[in-house]
Structure 1
């Protein structure tokens, strides 16, 4: 039997885009013959993924899952929204979201986890799905939220199936209060997060670079006011303060009642429950956020498919 080296596996993977374990198996089946291994992968439908790997995948699904006081959210992308309705794709999203509860907020670690059913790793299964479904797909990101006691609630906006849709939110409330008190509140706050898209829990969580950017914008606006320097400084700090309040969850106006700050809603619930309730954090993942979508000419694509 030929000696299959790591370099050979790497070379075959680069040539075909197939999973590492599939490449190793292909080389073993073909006694280390690179071209024969490529053909072996093609015959199995695994090398087809390579041709699709360069396509932009900005559609897909966001999955959320909760177990006890821990929640996970995962974004899996595809090229078109049609794939989001595919049962194979949905089953994959459900499975990897469940696995994310133990892998943590590390997409690479999640990709390396064994996929249930003996299909190699999560990444290997995704590669096989690309060949089966016929579109590029990617495991883009994952996030976790956990509290020591209390609840983590999940909410999906524009749900296409249970636990998955275009926006996935997790909200954690830490408290000794009863679950029937915490769960409705956490769910409402999660709905608020989906709608209001806060950048951080509070001012301390905002990126300092973002604050400086807002300060520069406020300074530029104030400079044209013709006011004295001391007034301009107050205008600048006022602008920054307004931005921080609008961008942080605890300071936002609760979309459910349209008048109370989120922090005040939590405080009122704690008073009614007779025990402290702390809003510990949130996760919000919106499908395709930050991905630059390629513009395509649909008529040209149809013509090309027809061989014109």
Structure 2
């Protein structure tokens, strides 16, 4: 069973304002306070409009057939004080039901690619999700949001516009986007995000440094998964982002350890290092991902290293 996640403070505030406005439509002071709350952040308006849409969706659901009419019961004395006592509880129950309803899945896909397999998903809203080799990703759509969870590997997302936000979770970080193209690479030690077009908001929860990053076309960031701190930020040609779909990868001043982590997606056996110096050597250029083994063979001619291939398929890089 999938548990519903708890509401965020913004979602709770949006829900409270929604119920209050339904009960007190003529309260001018409350309306002024509500407009001030909306103006505090674009997220406030987004969450409120999402809840309003969910309410409309619930109202449009078919209702069960009415029970046969019965003879009217004798009138009972009014018990307004008791009803008033229960009105708050009833509103809370409606609120909880609406909050839970908006996260019921309406579409679900999952991918687990082998080291020689790629796959693309065409979602109902027009979003395309391209999963690279060695990638594990799941896509879950609800009435309230579109969510993509990346467990490992590389995913290129061509997001379509929709009233629901698109949230991408990878390595403890979250990305929010509406109508853009971006690439997410999640390796055991690092998270790299690059934007080809549009804009993405990256929230690295628990980061040691700045946790929020705004990325635009050509921006790439590299974060450490441990602590979420920023390792590097670059501006590259937008066409380089997601180039793995054409069988190449363009790297700028990447360490051999980073390249080894990336090549692990394309190999069944790992690439290891004999010493720390070899891990930290840096390289820039274009990798032909269709022949990852050939790239490894050329390393001794590019850098002061040796390459030792083991019978189990693993490769060991040592400095010389």
Q: TM-score range by the shorter chain?
A: under 0.3
Of structures 1 and 2, the one with the larger relative CO (CA 8 A, separation 6+) is 1
TM-score (norm 1): 0.26
Higher helix fraction: Structure 1 or Structure 2?
1
The structure that is strand-richer by fraction is 2
Q: TM-score, normalised by structure 2?
A: 0.26
